[in-house]
Amino acid sequence: MNEFDDKEFTLTDKDFEQIRSFVKQHTGITLSEAKKTMVYGRLSRRLRKLRIPSFKEYLAIVARDDSDELVNFINAITTNLTSFFREEHHFDYLKNTIIPQLRLKKNSDQKIRIWSAGCSTGEEPYSIAIALHESLPDIEEWDIKILATDLDTNVLAHGENGIYDIERISALSPERKQAWFLKGRGAQQGSVKIDSRLRNLITFKQLNLMQQWPMKGPFDFMFCRNVVIYFDKDTQKILYNKYANLIVDDGCLFLGHSESMYKVCDRFASLGHTIYKKIC
């Protein structure tokens, strides 16, 4: 008997596998079997709101090419969810394009400044730090600082602590696991600890984006993914312009999978895959 058979909606194994496939395809996040109850709780709200009687029918709507529900589906699943190298194409672009450009451009002062806004529990800024280490063999000669901010002080404390359940790195390559995550001494059982070489690049700070910002910039590039989607268009316009004021000319801003500047801000040019370059 399925453990969800006696609930309001039946979530079959087939339904859950389809959900996992959708989430992996659109966000890069791998949902473990342990997330099944969470998935049920979050998506059942969408079924009630849309008055859909089953997950099977709901998923058929999500899968349609012309469906607007995909964004709601992804947002329901990914709220407060993050992962190392989420949306890996962003980090590929960072390693293959941005960092090589900065290496040439900044060869004299060797100074790089980065902002991870809405950093949650820290996986994003640590992924940025790994990409920098993998792309700059002489990184010890560089002056690099990553500012990681979030409204929630609890998730910031988690990120600053740098200890994660071992399942959080299950999707990473063996090489990355071995290079950047410590097991045993210094980490709790069943957990891994971030290597100090990464932690030393990052400063975690509490910040409400709706209040005054203490930082002056400029930042060479910035990640602000799955944050502005929760604001209305007028507020998004204000935020995008404030970001532009703090990003260097030709610097890049990375947005989330369902975010866009279309008809909101004209100070950035789209490079595709929710990567934007500042143009004015």
Residues 71 and 210 in one domain: no
Per-residue pLDDT for 81 more than 80?
Answer: no
Cβ-proximal residues to 157 (8 Å cutoff; 6+ apart), any chain: none
Of 54, 78, 102, the one marking the end of a domain is: 78
Residues 54 and 103 in one domain: no
d(CA 52, CA 65) in angstroms, rounded, equals 19
Residues 185 and 252 in one domain: yes
C-beta separation of 244 from 265 below 8 A = yes
Residues 208 and 160 in one domain: yes
In a domain, 2, yes or no: no
> Residue 65: what pLDDT?
81
Of 78, 113, 134, the one marking the end of a domain is: 78
Q: Which secondary-structure segment (H or E) carries 193?
A: strand 191-194
3-state SS assignment for residue 153: helix
CATH code at position 51: 1.10.155.10
Domain count, the chain: 2
In this predicted model, what pLDDT tens digit does every residue of 218-270 receive, in sequence order?
Answer: 999 999 998 888 788 899 999 999 999 999 999 999 999 889 999 999 999 99
Per-residue pLDDT for 1 more than 60?
Answer: no
What is the reported pTM?
A: 0.78
Catalytic residue among 15, 20, 113, 150: 150
Q: Span 179-208, mean pLDDT? A: 89
- Look up residue 195 and give its two tokens: 């290597």
In this predicted model, what pLDDT tens digit does every residue of 25-57 receive, in sequence order?
Answer: 876 677 888 889 999 999 999 999 999 999 999
Q: Span 197-204, mean pLDDT? A: 98
249 is known as an active-site residue: no
In a domain, 32, yes or no: yes
Q: In whole angstroms, how far apart are CA 224 and each of 32, 42, 107, 149, 263?
A: 25, 24, 26, 10, 18
> Environment class of residue 221 by beta-carbon count within 10 Å: exposed (0-12), middle (13-18) or buried (19+)?
buried
Of 78, 102, 130, the one marking the end of a domain is: 78
Residues 127 and 154 in one domain: yes
Residues 20 and 127 in one domain: no
Residues 40 and 126 in one domain: no
> Residue 3: what pLDDT?
60
> Residue 186: what pLDDT?
58
Cβ-proximal residues to 258 (8 Å cutoff; 6+ apart), any chain: 70, 71, 74, 75, 226, 229
Q: Domain of residue 37: give its range.
A: 13-78
pLDDT band per the 50, 70, 90 thresholds, residue 102: very high
> Residue 80: what pLDDT?
66
48 is known as an active-site residue: no
**Percentage of residues in the chain with pLDDT exceeding 90?**
74
Phi, psi of 63, deg, nearest 5: -75, -15
